[in-house]
Amino acid sequence: MARKFFVGGNWKCNGTAEEVKKIVNTLNEAQVPSQDVVEVVVSPPYVFLPLVKSTLRSDFHVAAQNCWVKKGGAFTGEVSAEMLVNLDIPWVILGHSERRALLNESNEFVGDKVAYALAQGLKVIACVGETLEQREAGSTMDVVAAQTKAIADRVSNWSNVVIAYEPVWAIGTGKVASPAQAQEVHDELRKWLAKNVSDDVAATTRIIYGGSVNGGNCKELGGQADVDGFLVGGASLKPEFIDIIKAAEVKKSA
């Protein structure tokens, strides 16, 4: 079974209501491949989720950028998986490197979050990736395997999980992993899933690339055998996000 190309737009902590309306208008007017070719999910900040959800075209979906690790309650400032479900938000991004680094989210904490969100019925974009120091030390796969293992230890059904490989050194830096570097890690990650989870999960789970993806490099990256799409940061706020969605066509013609 072919894995459906997946393009996620992580808007991070950006935007005013006016800017968000403009981005949504741009997306709504865009000519993009059909839903059977590409799955598109955009992730605005929490406060704009209802606005985007209510105005965005129906063939695109919405994701939250994070959620709490268990049921809601006395956790000031947090948003629970149940609240997202209640608002009919289908997706959530978990374990983004910015949260791992800036908020000290451990592999285990991210694994717990993924398991809890899935149990509530959310679909999860689970992020993994190494720092520049880790890559230069030759420990990329050890790091990525440990991050993935923390999820695998807690999750039995992978059908609602997309893995986003985002080398930390390539996020927002303008440095992009070469298509060969991306393919190498995606291939190793798929082999890890085959060995440690199952052949079926390895064959069907989408592994998408994130890290300075833009209109100029998306086709070559997307053409790699084990790159099943993208998690796009800064470029998802710009019209070039449409070009990145269109890169899904490289798989159709392959």
Active site residues: 96, 166
H helices present in 78-119, as ranges: 81-86, 97-102, 107-119
Alpha-carbon distance 160 to 29, whole Å? 28
Alpha carbon distances (Å) from 11 to 23, 166, 182, 198, 199: 10, 15, 22, 33, 33
Alpha-carbon distance 18 to 211, whole Å? 27
HSE-up (13 A, CA, CB side) for residue 5:
28
Alpha carbon distances (Å) from 197 to 4, 80, 141, 211, 249: 21, 28, 16, 26, 30
Number of H helices, E strands in the chain: 12, 8
Q: Which of 144, 150, 151 shows the shortest CA–CA distance to 128?
A: 144
Report which DSSP code applies to 171.
S
**One-character DSSP codes across 12-80:** -S---HHHHHHHHHHHHH-----TTTEEEEEE--GGGHHHHHHHS-TTEEEEES---SS--SS-TT---
